[in-house]
Copies of this chain bind each other. A is one copy, B any other.
């Protein structure tokens, strides 16, 4: 039985907590969070502490706190030579304090507290200095996901950058779209099947095959109409730049 302590109960920490708590062969023996939290019913059986000094002995410690705080926090842990991993996409493994064995356990997914995520298909990117530690992380990862991959800090950085495009920037496109519709008293619900299909296409087509629209066709009239509709909108610049970028790429 792998004994795990989860340090932090934010978006990633809480999602990992739910999943690892249910996983066979894993026991979340403690949950630490700097501030007191009201544990949801499903997690009531996990011992909780907000005192660093009270952290128990475990096989793996998973730090799930904001990137900026990870280095300092790892240096304040009251033990040595244990396996300590962080869950950040952008931080190198070396950001962790050297008194413990360093590792990374990065689930490549977007997490919000209000929406539990199924880990089965989520790639878990692992990294460690020693082979035995890597195997330990692989064992843990396979308890919750079918997709555990050894990824270097450098490659993880690139993955995280690419993830920002398909997640944060894509979601911002949704935001813009909802805003444009709201202003015209139109219902964002109308676009939800399109949003679903756009993402769904990518399972079987490459983005290049899936690309459609006025920019790719260089449909000058439609582009002009859209810019006219966006006349005083802060989103006009976004439209212009996207259209230029797509044209440059597809109309070579």
A residues within 8 Å of B by Cβ?
Answer: 11, 66-68, 90, 108-112, 114-115, 117, 121-123, 147, 149, 155, 157-178, 180-181, 184, 186, 190-217, 219, 221-222, 225-226, 229-230, 234-235, 237-239, 241-242, 245-246, 248-249
Work out how many copies of this chain go into the complex: 2
Contact B201 A199 (CB under 8 A): no
Given A109-B194, A115-B201, A241-B237: A166 and B174 within 8 A (CB)? yes
Task: Assess whether A110 is in contact with B196, with CB atoms less than 8 Å apart.
Answer: no
Q: Are B158 and A165 in contact (CB under 8 A)?
A: no
Query: For A190, what are the chain B residues with a Cβ–Cβ distance below 8 Å?
Result: 108, 123, 149, 159
Q: A11-B212, A211-B168 are in contact. Are A162 and B175 (CB under 8 A)?
A: no
Interface of A is mostly: helix
**Given B194, B209, B229, which contacts A167 in the complex, CB threshold below 8 Å?**
B194
Measured between alpha carbons, how far is A175 from B247 in the docked complex, in Å?
13
Q: Name which of A110, A165, A217 has the most chain B CB atoms within 10 A of its CB.
A: A165
Partner of A110 from the list B168, B176, B198 (CB cut-off 8 Å) is B198
Contacts of A159 in B (CB 8 A): 181, 186, 190-191
Using Cβ atoms and an 8 Å threshold, which residues of chain B touch A249?
172, 175
